[in-house]
């Protein structure tokens, strides 16, 4: 018993180290969801004739703390923060609540950032490299508690404006658009 | 005969002229009270109605006459505009112009005009998609659209006369201000001080929409329209091309100084007065220098645009203290003689009395709690800034008062020539701020500041102050829970009106501030109340409700208050507003039974 303990500990440590490696992994080249995201973007719950939902590829950045923290920095550098604040919204809508106007999947968010949206969201396609957009996507989902806690960024170095992503409650996303503005 | 004729003709002409003058003066006088042709009511920006039917004695029985839903949910900051038998309302984006028939029961819709601005413009509107109103002149209605157009519409049938594309949303420019029409020129300015735009005021020919002149707020003298007539009072405003030299490199090209507030006009001096907004970005370390000609006031000749003088309230502004608040043109006895001045309650919390002929500051007195500026040096005109409250990168500065919205924001005050008091709707707010490097990407925000706001001393977030401009002191003051974000209206009857963000429309005694009457509107009030004599001869009071604006973004934009920096620092401060009011634009018009 006492003999086997170090082995178990070692195994646990090794597993933790490997898992940790993945969590901390820096990627310099990507194939990932980045190349072909748009055929899996869906905005409606209605699938005429019961057509199956397209395959949603795994989003590996959501298990990668480095990607999420990069996303947080890029979110500031590309002025996402200027319109969405620290997730509470300003010119643009809040990102930390359960309302996702154009869908909550990573693919939806990617498409929103690249294409822009008609009511004011700029089209960032061609401005931000795809890999960095995916990192921003991972961070934006973390704002609403949609990534693993051990991957979330912790408290920012800046003026304290809200709980850290790590201590933020996770809310069930709801794909709900606000009512259209009558003209 | 020849001689006799010559003698008689002038006499007849003179008689006719006198008769005509009497008739037209009477007609004009009647006309003037039956109209509210521009948001401020008059060129002087007094927001004073000469009607005296509604008094402190009878205002308690004021009743709703009619109402009208705009069907829109964003902040309604506009003033209704009234001509003899029609009321005009311009809405927030999509900037629909409604014309209501005042000569029919219930004031039904006569027509509507839809300019259909580009939807993307909502993404470059810093502080809700508001519009501050239209202006009427010579049978035409003029207003601006969020996507940077000025539009002229026939006041009778609503058909479009012309439209001019002036701002470029791809560079963050929008338009939210109300035009002022002076001598057949439509004066309009841009918004976008939080997007690194370059501010300007433009004069358009009222008949054609063609540009007559444009005066930038930054850049070389030739583009600021500074020439030989320019005679500023203080030495720091003198020199060549200060709009370039008081900036590092080409920072003036994205330096702000937008013109989104109020313009007043003195026909006697033939001068217009208007303020320029904050320099960009907010982070002051990115723009060492005085950053001319931002955060100050220009006096210009409306015919040519030529600058006569300029005074900078906030050189090298580091608090978002825009200079765009109203300059109320009044004559005031100072030191035993009458002076031509204007009164200006600035964002920085000081109320300035400025000689409008020369630009000399005659007095500057704090009207709220100010700890960022200890005093204004009247010799140099410069504010004495408190070093501890100066934003620096890498440090959070606590409890700066007033906050970025100032001791008073855009919400215009009213002047009564009877009580000789200025009625100021404003706020009592402070903030913690950390400035950070701002990254300029055209069409996106250019701010560089993390902000969280809190109520100032006493915990009340709003104030409504009656200010004795000559004496430089408050005569009475009303504390409000939320910032008072509506305009004020003063009337000859001795009643003053304003609205609150919970939705109370209040009538108070002009002399004492005593609450005389109130009405609960469906949504918070951030609009500008007006008064006019209806076709039936009665005095009416009108106001738009519909909460929003910078202060009300938490409701209008459905922000999440768990992030206290939401809405540029308002999130935490206004987290209880959604429990007190909901969205919804609605016009309310009141009269005595």
User: A139-153, B149-163, B169-183, B215-229: which has the minimum mean pLDDT?
Assistant: A139-153
With beta carbons under 8 A apart, name residues in chain B contacting A87.
560, 562-563
- Pick the catalytic residue from B77, B194, B346, B360: B194
Q: Residue A87: closest CA among chain B residues belongs to which residue?
A: B563
β-strand pairing of B48-49 with B489-491: parallel
Q: What average pLDDT does this structure show over B456-481?
A: 98
Domain that holds residue A85: 57-152
Domain membership flag for residue A176: no
Give me the percent of chain A exceeding a pLDDT of 70.
77
**B205, pLDDT greater than 70:** yes
pLDDT for position B92: 98
**B236, pLDDT greater than 50:** yes
Give A156's pLDDT tier (boundaries 50, 70, 90): confident
Give B338's pLDDT tier (boundaries 50, 70, 90): very high
Q: End-to-end distance of chain B based on CA atoms, in angstroms?
A: 63
With beta carbons under 8 A apart, name residues in chain A contacting B565.
85-86, 88, 159, 161-162
Whether B348 contacts B334, CB under 8 Å = no
**B432, pLDDT greater than 80:** yes
Convert the pLDDT of each residue in B248-272 to its tens digit: 999 999 999 999 999 999 999 999 9
Convert the pLDDT of each residue in B88-145 to its tens digit: 999 999 999 999 999 999 999 999 999 999 999 999 999 999 999 999 999 999 999 9
User: A7-21, B339-353, B427-441: which has the minimum mean pLDDT?
Assistant: A7-21
With beta carbons under 8 A apart, name residues in chain A contacting B122.
91, 119-120
Mean residue pLDDT of chain A comes to 83
pLDDT for position B25: 46
Give me the percent of chain A exceeding a pLDDT of 90.
44
Give B29's pLDDT tier (boundaries 50, 70, 90): very low
**A108, pLDDT greater than 50:** yes
User: A50-54, A107-111, B328-332: which has the minimum mean pLDDT?
Assistant: A50-54
Whether B580 contacts B532, CB under 8 Å = no
A92 CB within 8 Å of a chain B CB: yes
Between chain A and chain B, the number of residue pairs with CB atoms below 8 A apart is: 126
Sign of the C-alpha dihedral, residues B292, B295, B301, B304? positive
A122·B571 Cβ contact <8 A: no
Q: Residue A165: closest CA among chain B residues belongs to which residue?
A: B563
Domain membership flag for residue A90: yes
> How many domains does chain A contain in total?
1
pLDDT for position A39: 65
Q: Residue B112: closest CA among chain A residues belongs to which residue?
A: A183
**B148, pLDDT greater than 70:** yes
Convert the pLDDT of each residue in A73-104 to its tens digit: 999 999 999 999 999 999 999 999 999 999 99
Domain membership flag for residue A18: no
Distance CA B454, CA A158 (A): 18
Would you say the ipTM is above 0.85?
yes
Domain membership flag for residue A36: no
- Considering only CB atoms, A118 lies closest to which of B94, B119, B553, namely B119
CATH of the domain at A136: 1.10.760.10
Q: Residue B451: closest CA among chain A residues belongs to which residue?
A: A159
CB atoms within 10 A of CB B411: 27
**DSSP conformation class of A70:** H
B contact residues 60-89, partner A, Cβ 8 Å cutoff: 71-73
Domain membership flag for residue A92: yes
SS3 content of chain B, % helix, strand, coil (to 5): 15, 35, 50
Q: Considering only CA atoms, which of B79, B81, B93, B211 is closest in space to residue B141?
A: B81
With beta carbons under 8 A apart, name residues in chain A contacting B450.
158-159, 161
**A16, pLDDT greater than 80:** no
Q: Nearest CA to CA, how far is B585 from chain A (Å)?
A: 12
**B542, pLDDT greater than 60:** yes
Q: What average pLDDT does this structure show over B381-398?
A: 97
A183 CB within 8 Å of a chain B CB: yes
- Pick the catalytic residue from B95, B278, B291, B327: B278
Mean residue pLDDT of chain B comes to 95
A83·B444 Cβ contact <8 A: yes
Using left for φ > 0, alpha for ψ between -120 and 50, and beta otherwise, residue B304 falls in: alpha
- Considering only CB atoms, B432 lies closest to which of A93, A119, A159, namely A159
Could you confirm whether B278 is annotated as catalytic?
yes
Domain membership flag for residue A30: no
With beta carbons under 8 A apart, name residues in chain B contacting A91.
122-126, 445, 557
pLDDT for position B576: 98
Convert the pLDDT of each residue in B273-315 to its tens digit: 999 999 999 999 999 999 999 999 999 999 999 999 999 999 9
Distance CA B286, CA B271 (A): 34
Q: What average pLDDT does this structure show over B340-355?
A: 98
pLDDT for position A182: 47
- Angle at the Cα of B488 from the Cα atoms of B483 and B491, rounded to 5 degrees: 150
B376 CB within 8 Å of a chain A CB: no
**A4, pLDDT greater than 90:** no
E strand spans, B367-448? 373-376, 383-385, 396-400, 414-416, 421-427, 429-435
With beta carbons under 8 A apart, name residues in chain B contacting A183.
94, 96, 114, 116
**B6, pLDDT greater than 90:** no
Q: Nearest CA to CA, how far is A100 from chain B (Å)?
A: 13
């Amino acid at each position: 018993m006492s003999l086997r303990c170090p082995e178990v500990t070692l195994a646990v440590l090794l597993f933790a180290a490997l898992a940790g490696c993945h969590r901390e992994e820096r990627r310099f080249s990507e194939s990932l969801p980045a190349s072909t995201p748009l055929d899996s973007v869906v905005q409606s719950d209605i699938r005429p004739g019961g057509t199956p939902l397209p395959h949603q590829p795994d989003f590996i950045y959501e298990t990668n703390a480095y990607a999420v923290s990069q996303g947080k920095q890029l979110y500031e550098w590309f002025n996402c923060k200027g319109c969405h604040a620290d997730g509470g919204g300003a010119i643009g809508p809040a990102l930390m609540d359960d309302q996702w106007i154009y869908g909550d999947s990573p693919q939806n968010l990617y498409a929103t950032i690249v294409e822009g949206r008609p009511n004011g969201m700029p089209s960032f396609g061609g401005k931000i490299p795809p890999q960095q957009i995916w990192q921003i996507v991972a961070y934006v989902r973390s704002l609403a508690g949609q990534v693993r806690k051990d991957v979330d960024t912790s408290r920012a170095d800046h003026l304290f404006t809200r709980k850290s992503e790590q201590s933020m409650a996770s809310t069930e996303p709801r794909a709900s658009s606000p009512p259209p503005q009558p003209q | 005969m020849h001689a006799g004729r010559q003698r008689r003709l002038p006499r007849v002409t003179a008689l006719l002229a006198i008769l005509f003058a009497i008739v037209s003066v009477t007609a004009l006088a009647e006309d003037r009270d039956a109209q509210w042709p521009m948001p401020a009511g008059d060129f002087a920006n007094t927001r004073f109605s000469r009607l005296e039917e509604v008094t402190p004695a009878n205002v308690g029985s004021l009743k709703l006459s009619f109402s009208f839903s705009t069907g829109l949910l964003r902040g309604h900051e506009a003033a209704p505009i009234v001509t003899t038998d029609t009321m005009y309302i311009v809405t927030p984006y999509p900037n629909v112009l409604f014309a209501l028939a005042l000569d029919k029961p219930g004031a039904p819709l006569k027509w509507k005009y839809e300019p259909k601005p580009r939807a993307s413009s909502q993404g470059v509107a810093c502080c809700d998609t508001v519009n501050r109103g239209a202006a009427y002149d010579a049978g035409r209605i003029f207003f601006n659209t969020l996507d940077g157009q000025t539009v002229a519409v026939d006041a009778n049938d609503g058909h479009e006369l012309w439209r001019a594309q002036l701002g470029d949303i791809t560079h963050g420019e929008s338009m939210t201000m109300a035009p002022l029409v002076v001598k057949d020129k439509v004066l309009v300015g841009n918004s976008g001080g939080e997007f690194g735009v370059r501010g300007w005021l433009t004069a358009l020919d009222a008949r054609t929409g063609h540009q007559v002149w444009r005066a930038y707020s930054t850049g070389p003298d030739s583009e600021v329209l500074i020439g030989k007539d320019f005679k500023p009072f203080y030495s720091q405003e003198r020199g060549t091309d200060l709009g370039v030299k008081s900036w590092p490199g080409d920072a003036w090209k994205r330096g702000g100084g937008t013109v989104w507030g109020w313009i007043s006009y003195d026909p006697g001096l033939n001068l217009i007065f208007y303020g320029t907004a904050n320099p960009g970005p907010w982070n002051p370390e990115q723009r060492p220098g005085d950053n001319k000609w931002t955060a100050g006031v220009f006096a210009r000749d409306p015919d040519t645009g030529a600058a006569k003088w300029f005074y900078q309230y906030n050189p090298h502004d580091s608090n978002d203290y825009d200079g765009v608040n109203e300059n109320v043109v009044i004559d005031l006895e100072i030191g035993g003689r009458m002076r031509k001045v204007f009164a200006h309650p600035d964002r920085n919390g000081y109320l300035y009395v400025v000689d409008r002929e020369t630009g000399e500051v005659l007095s500057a007195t704090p009207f709220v709690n100010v700890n960022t500026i200890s005093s204004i040096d009247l010799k140099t005109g410069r504010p004495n800034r408190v070093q501890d409250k100066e934003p620096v990168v890498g440090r959070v500065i606590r409890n700066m008062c007033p906050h970025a919205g100032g001791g008073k924001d855009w919400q215009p005050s009213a002047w009564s020539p009877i009580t000789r008091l200025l009625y100021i709707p404003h706020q009592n707010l402070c903030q913690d701020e950390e400035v950070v490097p701002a990254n300029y990407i055209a069409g996106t925000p250019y701010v560089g500041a993390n902000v969280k706001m809190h109520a100032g001393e006493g915990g009340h977030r709003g104030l409504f102050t009656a200010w004795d401009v000559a004496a430089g002191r408050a005569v009475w003051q009303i504390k409000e829970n939320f910032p008072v974000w509506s305009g004020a209206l003063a009337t000859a009857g001795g009643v003053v009106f304003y609205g609150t963000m919970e939705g109370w429309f209040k009538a108070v005694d002009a002399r004492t501030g005593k609450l005389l009457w109130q009405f609960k509107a469906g949504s918070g009030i951030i609009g500008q109340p007006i008064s006019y004599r209806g076709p039936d001869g009665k005095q009416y009071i009108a106001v738009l409700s519909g909460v929003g604006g910078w202060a009300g973004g938490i409701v209008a934009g459905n922000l999440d208050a768990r992030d206290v920096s939401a809405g540029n620092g308002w999130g935490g401060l206004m987290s209880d507003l959604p429990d007190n009011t909901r969205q919804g634009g609605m016009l309310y018009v009141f009269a005595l039974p």
